[in-house]
Amino acid sequence: MLIGSHPRPAAPRLARALLAALTLASAVAARADEIVLRVGDQKGGNRSLLEIAGYAKDLPYRNAWSEFPAAAPILEALNAGALDVGYTGDLSFLTVYAAGAPIKAIGGTRSDARTQAILVRQDSPIQSTADLKGKRLAGTRGGWGQFLISATLEKAGIAPSEATFAPLNPVDAKVALMAGSVDAWAVWEPYVSFATLKDKARPIADGAGLTPTLTFIVASDSAIATKRAALQDFLSRLNKARLWSLDHLDAYARNTASLTKLPEDVLRAAYTAQRTSPIALDNGVVKEVQEASDRATRYGILPRPLDVGRAVDRSFTAAASN
């Protein structure tokens, strides 16, 4: 030891070490007690909507976001217990629920049914639904595309055997339509706006009076049982953000365009046409979806009849009006 130097007392060092250890232990304990919602999303989906609308701040829980390329893998992850909540179209949800997935719809949104459409090329000889007889029609299997084709043919008095259904995802279906390997394509926004604005496709039928055009917020039964308050808050924030978007369509389209690289004018047209608004899962919605479910069973899209009332949890519906 150097002459004139003094050893630092051990007690303060020990106190500081104990304080640091206690602080770390407290942080670990707090994180262990933290509620985490595992949320499935798509690029330009609910996460970006919450953020641009200002409802992603000061959460009393933490969102652990996972991005998926489409709704189908979100449903698969919910079914496997890897997610707590996500979103998907009404029929896609019912298809997975019918297969026994432990999930429920806890909220949702409605878009204008006319934004589901059957499109043809600009130079197509098809002018009306009656001209679909004998044609090859593309759409997604087990969802809105197949349902809209089946319902449109039925309305036009065309038997299912009098047209050919080509099960294709939207990207492949668009290529097939433009190449002429299919005659028509059943799809939704923003594909409809893209095809009509950029490819000059023509709509010859839409979903008005045929389909509910709902998107459900879907949660696992486990999350409903153990993370109810967080799910309720999450749903309430989503509903408020959705209402915000209706008054800020330009900003919303611009933000989504920057994330997805889709043209801003396409997204603005899609959002303007859709007017997507939050809904409460009330008796009217359940009845409407039940009728669509029964038709989907008759069309062979759903494997068996469903009781839609058992597929939804209406206890969250108050969040839609908060």
Per-residue pLDDT of the chain (322 residues; tens, 9 = 90+): 333 444 444 445 554 554 554 444 434 334 557 899 999 999 999 999 999 999 999 999 999 999 998 888 999 999 999 999 999 999 999 999 999 999 999 999 999 999 999 999 999 999 999 999 999 999 998 888 999 999 999 999 999 999 999 999 999 999 999 999 999 999 999 999 999 999 999 999 999 999 999 999 999 999 999 999 999 999 999 999 999 999 999 999 999 999 999 999 999 999 999 999 999 999 999 999 999 999 999 999 999 999 999 999 999 986 444 4
Element (H, E) at 286: helix 283-298
- pTM of the predicted model as reported, rounded to 2 decimal places: 0.85
CATH classification of the domain holding 68: 3.40.190.10
Domain finish residue from 206, 231, 261: 206
Query: What is the total residue count of the chain?
Result: 322
Same domain, 177 and 220: no
Same domain, 107 and 118: no
Q: What is the largest CA-CA distance in the chain?
A: 106
Q: Which domain holds residue 181?
A: 114-206
241, part of any domain:
yes
256, part of any domain:
yes
Q: Which two three-digit tokens encode residue 87?
A: 């979103």
Domain finish residue from 206, 227, 260: 206
Same domain, 107 and 223: yes
Buried b (16+ CB within 10 A) or exposed e, 209-242: ebbbbbbbbbbbeebbeebeebbbbbbbbbbbbb
Task: Please say whether the dihedral angle defined by the alpha carbons of residues 160, 163, 169 and 170, taken in this order, is positive or negative.
Answer: negative
Same domain, 98 and 123: no
What DSSP string describes 199-257? S--EEEEE-TTT---EEEEEEEHHHHHH-HHHHHHHHHHHHHHHHHHHH-HHHHHHHHH
